Structure 1
Amino acid sequence: MKVPPMLTVAELAARLNVSPDTVRRMCNSGQWPHSRIGRLYRFTEEHYQAIIATPESPEMMPRSQRDNIARLLRMIS
């Protein structure tokens, strides 16, 4: 039986253009599918496809975009 290739946290972060800490945070919160091998997170191609198919969360937005949204929300409040 052939085991599908699995991505590391760093590899997934590079594909998604986010930090490894963001990947870990999204997995810890249960928002992203993943596999655990001991203490390590691993991701199959199916996990990756499910992650990119989900709507973008605020954690995934570039910081400047989040800051702009926060500033606009403060202005209308």
Structure 2
Amino acid sequence: MNSTPQAGKFAEPGRTYTAPEISEFFRVGTETVWRKCRNREWPHMRIGRHYRFSAENISEIQQLLAPQPVSRAPRSRKRQPL
């Protein structure tokens, strides 16, 4: 089951969203949103000293947060000597 909510609430074209709105959407703290923006880990816009997010930014963040497949090295079937 995907724990990330759908972006229907955030699909309004031309509207920007604040860090507290994004923190509620992704169920993280506002400080986390600010830190991710400050470290340039999440796409965002700056308006003065405020972080703002477009619907496109939210979509990109969802892709960044999507689970990535884990690749494992093939296990050797050869038994190790005792």
TM-score range, shorter chain: 0.5 to 0.7
Q: Does 1:50 align with 2:71?
A: no
**C-alpha distance in structure 2 between counterparts of 1:8 and 1:17, whole Å:** 14
| 1:54 aligned counterpart, secondary structure | helix
Map of 1:54-65 to 2, 5 A cutoff?
54-55=64-65
TM (norm. structure 1) is: 0.66
**C-alpha distance in structure 2 between counterparts of 1:18 and 1:54, whole Å:** 15
Q: Does 1:23 align with 2:29?
A: no
**C-alpha distance in structure 2 between counterparts of 1:17 and 1:55, whole Å:** 12
| 2:28 aligned counterpart, secondary structure | coil
| 1:18 aligned counterpart, secondary structure | coil
Identity %: 35
Q: Which runs of 5+ in 2 are unaligned?
A: 1-12, 67-82
The alpha-carbon deviation at position 55 of structure 1 amounts to 4.0
**C-alpha distance in structure 2 between counterparts of 1:4 and 1:44, whole Å:** 7
1:55–1:16 CA distance, 2 compared to 1 (3 A): closer
| 1:42 aligned counterpart, secondary structure | strand
The count of corresponding residues between Structure 1 and Structure 2 is: 54
Higher-Rg structure is 2
Q: Which residue of 2 aligns with 1:75?
A: none
Query: Hey, which bits of structure 1, 4+ residues long, moved more than 4 A?
Result: none
**C-alpha distance in structure 2 between counterparts of 1:45 and 1:37, whole Å:** 16
